[in-house]
Structure 1
């Protein structure tokens, strides 16, 4: 009977080693990769990597339930808005849905490698939150950890596991050689977790504070300069590519603001309801400030909605503004 191991697969070096070690132990490995706009990796490179490793790959997208978790994680955040323990438990629940009651559930985690999510207490918390107590095999540190159900049942021998600990990778070259891994010939899908980045975390917190945390709005965070104007969000393009993206993603309710006739950013104004008059003028002033007319005393700015010109505003460019430095509380 074929033995399967379902591995939480990031595409990083630790999950690569875990995949090859599980194969060496006689398992058919199914890599499960959870993706979202917060931690995207190139799917084609992931597929190419899985093929070279000889493992099956399943890529699944985080759903709205991930956003609900992000608003109020059981174990809180790291330095920014990274809910590392809750995030790992979420991914493992998704992996469990795929695996069912079949096979071994595994990760490439290393004891002590990450301060928030890879210490002994964090491992216990992840197992409790994911509903997988005693059922998560961590083969890279297995010799140092309490036995899992797989060791108790004789499915895996603790002596066959590794005893890696901490952030040092001095032993990795020898481990790679022993497992027959030529890392130089493997594709390495780029990408980290944006929730750990301070500037991105500010924008995510803003969405949460204003009840606007949706995947559509999260994707918008990855382009442009962002300004909060009361119940409105202004996103100002920084180059031609971002301008084109803004025009492409405009909804029927969004406003497009630009300075006609001269080099200018395109900006998207997205509001919960109809924007107040002074909000439109502030938004127009910000767009004028980033146009080639920024040094003019007055600039004519065009406002479009649903593809139609609805207004031309003559405004003074707002000076010396930076993202989130201009706010409008409203009445």
Structure 2
């Protein structure tokens, strides 16, 4: 029975995935782009959809779930320099791709051999396929001539001679490839990086893992403000009005909001497992006072709110020793 010429392509919206989509179309495939999104590697979905429309491909968007966070806590193949589980992450994406494609669906990516040091080596490709349960079932058309034969080539679904032989990070050949594929006009840059590879972000993710607080809500909060760990409590302090508003919007029933009301001040969100100890609350208030315009005063009143209600005003000395508590590289 001849396999249907439909392919499910991991579609980041970057240049390589666009080239892969066009190449596969030119080979007679109906392409379905599957875009995986999470707070760690977000792209503008409207631009991804525009690209898909421009290419004439169907687009499916899949949001990373709680299972991604479980993987992140203990990846089979470990981390890169920071908390980037690149091999496990790619395997996770391929598992999601397989869920969309079905057991017999043709699966492809825009990966280039040798382009990324951790996840785009030949041995890494093998590990990823093994972990995803897709041995020999991942078509990588941009480097297909250089890679071992897949099931699709064995079955005659694709001809290896029609694939490309890209290797490494150089893009010198891309203009000619784009011309031959018939791609012109404004095209996307290579896909953006993952926040888990950034040292300043990674240290905050590690803190969540160490304190068993790795949730998607807490991850989204990592993108805002300055972050401090005071005992078992987490304090997030805004850096401008926009951040203050966003941080306040994350407040839950048990959270405390701290701010100085006698002078321009950041908003601080204090999140604890239970009721914070008095010393923790006073330290948090001192840090908020430190970043307010009243920081030169000997004593600063800091208002403490819960669920929008003022519960007390603490008078503190601005805490200038913030490095002791700050989460930073």
Can you list the C-alpha shifts for 1:35-59, whole angstroms capped at 9, x where unaligned?
Answer: 0010111111110010001111101
Deviations 1:170-221 (A, max 9, x none): 1000000000111x42456974310000000000000000000000100110
- Structure 2 residue aligned with 1:16: 18
Instruction: Report deviation, 1:255.
Output: 0.1
Further displaced range: 314-323 or 196-205 = 314-323
Name structure 2 gaps, 5 residues minimum. Answer: none
Match of 1:255 in 2: 256
* Of 60, 66, 86, the match for 1:84: 86
**Using the alignment, how far apart are the partners of 2:44 and 2:14 within structure 1?**
12
Report Cα offsets for 1:63-94 as digits up to 9, x if no partner.
00000000000001111100000000000000
Matches within 5 A, 1:147-296: 147-182=149-184, 184-186=185-187, 191-296=192-297
Moved over 3 A (4+): 186-191, 322-326
Equivalent position SS for 1:185:
coil
Instruction: Tell me the residue number matched to 1:120.
Output: 122
Partner of 1:329: none
8 Å CA contact 2:15–2:187 kept in 1: the answer is no
| Cα distance between partner residues in 2 of 1:13 and 1:99 | 22
Deviation at 1:247, TM superposition (A): 1.7
Structure 1 residues 308, 190: CA separation in 2 closer, same or farther (over 3 Å shift)? Answer: farther
**1:314 is matched with which residue?**
315
For residues 287 and 9 of structure 1, what CA distance do their matches in structure 2 show? 43
Question: Aligned with 2:93: secondary structure?
Answer: helix
Mapped partners of 1:247, 1:142: distance in 2 = 50
Alignment gaps of 5+ in structure 1: 327-331
* 1:52–1:203 CA distance, 2 compared to 1 (3 A): same
Change (3 A) 1:324 1:142: farther
Aligned 8 A contact 1:226 1:323 in 2:
no
Any idea what SS the aligned residue of 1:69 has? helix
Count matched residues. 326
Taking the aligned partners of 1:324 and 1:175, their CA distance within structure 2 comes to: 52
CA-atom RMSD, angstroms? 1.6
Q: TM-score, normalised by structure 1?
A: 0.96
Shift of 1:246: 1.5
**Equivalent residue number for residue 62 of structure 1:** 64
